[in-house]
Structure 1
Amino acid sequence: MTIADKSAAATGRVILVGAGPGAADLLTLRAARALAAADVVVHDGLVGADVMAMVPAGARLVSVAKRRDRHTMQQADIGALLVREAQAGHVVVRLKGGDPFIFGRGGEEVSACNAAGIAVEVIPGVSAALGGAAAALMPLTHRDHASIVSFVAGECRGLADQNWVGLAGKGRTLVIYMGVTGADRIAEKLIGDGLAPDTPVAILERATLADMRVLRACLADLGGLVAREAVISPALIIVGDVATLGADAALTQITKALPCPIS
């Protein structure tokens, strides 16, 4: 490595930035400053258009969008890309939907940077669960309803490999990321683990954006609700009594009628 190469490596760094659930004005001030200083922005597919509009004109954009059945770039290759760009002396912003450490694989990317001796920083973002619940006026905790909150991924591993026993029930809220495609199997699993079929559930689709929808049902009808309303990702599933809370007047889309009684 030449002296010039060493100098470039010393100035290059990686910043993992949480872009939040969609709305640009939910970015933190620190996130906005990092984005303004970026030479290279490596971004997810779910980052909102308004957030992408904040990328400086001179920055190079690299999409590493992932979908359930298609990955633009494998995770190991993303880590290698971040390291390579930082070693070239660039300020690299890794722009992630939600928060980098909530189902964002941020830990893997930090490890890749650490292993290569690259300076790395993480700027937290508003997670989809927190942003969506706030937009729907649906508290994830409430003295009368829930004092425990659990976050699970519906697609990261096979359902049979996951132990969800005790994560949902009286006094608890379960938030399921990436669960739309397997909603019917998720309902079957939770009911099989002992959760009552009439447990309230809500789906928060396109959280915090202008066309956000909040849909409600009971657990037994979760799969049917997804099919009837043609729910698409990104969407969250909220399981528990707090799913009955919220003010529909605050939403663009009127909440659908419940297909089974929830009081």
Structure 2
Amino acid sequence: MSLENAIARLAPAMPAFEPGHVWLAGAGPGNVGSLTLDVVAAIADADAIVYDALVESSILDAARHGVELHFAGKRGGQASTAQDDITALLISLARKKRRVLRLKGGDPYVFGRGGEEALALAQAGIPFRILPGVTSAFGALASAGIPATMRGLNKAIILATGHAGTEDDLDWAALARTGQPIVVYMGLRNLARITAALVSGGLRPSTPAAVIMAATTSQERVLVSTLEAIADEATAQDFASPALIVVGEIVSMRAELIALERLMRSA
């Protein structure tokens, strides 16, 4: 069966995108292959797409002719669209009877402010729907060859934001004491402070750590080091956002899995 026929068979199960509705959708970590069928269908049907900085431009090529494209990107340390303005735009477009797609990197409910936008839409009486996306953390780990969970290594995994200021920061020492792997979003600018706090909280300086930059895209880069050295090495090698930081023994699996994969290919 061809890809087109397979998609056509699945399409009838997809709900109708009604005028005046807003769909909050996750575009995954970057690569178009991570898009769900629901999100692909929504991109094709939308009258207006409000998209984030982490949404690849090639994804928008699937939109129909004449669609309104509204950039609403947010990047740490750079001029960004205010959240109140984004919410107001969604409501305004919906009241004009547009079929509005709010397209976000990763999953809209995982560090994507999807909950805030859904609440605002509900309070404004705007019908909305959530289209889940491949969570950036797990997509990035898989792409980099790092298993999110591994029997014998971890029984949980922590997703944390590294974007907060020092007055509103996480208790990194408490996270360190769990002994479970930590995936940090938006933490590259604060990496030195975060790693120092984790060491102070009890993690060994030699704990494996990685930075995954532009995960799943053609620009993906992976740096594997230790907790005490990762910040300096990321700076020296010009790692930049978007990037995820991974701390924990699961990082050590990458070298073994890559070695085994290469051995299988050469056999």
Q: TM-score, normalised by structure 2?
A: 0.86
Alpha-carbon separation, structure 1, partners of 2:37 and 2:192: 40
- The match for 2:50 is 42
- The match for 2:35 is 27
- Preserved CA contact (<8 Å) 1:169 1:240: no
Q: Deviation at 1:182?
A: 1.1
- Preserved CA contact (<8 Å) 1:19 1:27: yes
Greater per-residue helix proportion:
2
Structure 1 stretch displaced more, 14-23 or 60-69: 60-69
Q: Specify every segment of 5 or more residues in structure 1 that has no aligned partner in the other structure, as ranges.
A: 1-9, 252-263
- The match for 1:206 is 214
Q: Specify every segment of 5 or more residues in structure 2 that has no aligned partner in the other structure, as ranges.
A: 1-17, 262-267
Q: Deviation at 1:169?
A: 5.7
Q: Deviation at 1:53?
A: 1.8
SS of equivalent to 1:41: strand
Q: 1:39 to 1:156 in 2, by over 3 A?
A: farther
- The match for 1:183 is 191
- The match for 2:20 is 12
Q: 1:198 to 1:124 in 2, by over 3 A?
A: same
* Equivalent runs, 1:163-178 vs 2, <5 Å: 163-168=171-176, 172-178=180-186
- The match for 2:74 is 66
Q: Deviation at 1:48?
A: 1.2
Aligned: 1:51 with 2:59: yes
Over the matched positions of the two proteins, sequence identity in percent amounts to: 38
Q: Deviation at 1:176?
A: 0.4
2:157 maps to a residue whose letter is V
- The match for 1:5 is none
- The match for 2:128 is 120
Aligned: 1:161 with 2:174: no
Greater per-residue strand proportion:
1
Alpha-carbon separation, structure 2, partners of 1:79 and 1:57: 25
Structure 1 stretch displaced more, 65-74 or 231-240: 65-74
Q: Deviation at 1:232?
A: 0.5
Structure 1 stretch displaced more, 165-174 or 235-244: 165-174
SS of equivalent to 1:191: helix
Structure 1 stretch displaced more, 139-148 or 64-73: 64-73
**Deviation digits for residues 10-66 of structure 1, max 9, x if unmatched?**
940100110111101110001111111100000001111221222222210000111
SS of equivalent to 1:103: coil
SS of equivalent to 1:129: helix
Aligned: 1:79 with 2:87: yes
Q: Say how many residue pairs are matched.
A: 242
Q: 1:235 to 1:58 in 2, by over 3 A?
A: same
Q: 1:187 to 1:171 in 2, by over 3 A?
A: closer
2:212 maps to a residue whose letter is L
**Deviation digits for residues 80-99 of structure 1, max 9, x if unmatched?**
11011001100000010111
Aligned equivalent of 1:95, options 90, 103, 111: 103
Aligned: 1:104 with 2:112: yes
Q: Deviation at 1:113?
A: 0.4
- Preserved CA contact (<8 Å) 2:207 2:247: yes
Q: Deviation at 1:168?
A: 3.6
Taking only aligned residues, the RMSD between alpha carbons, in angstroms, comes to 1.9
Alpha-carbon separation, structure 2, partners of 1:115 and 1:250: 53
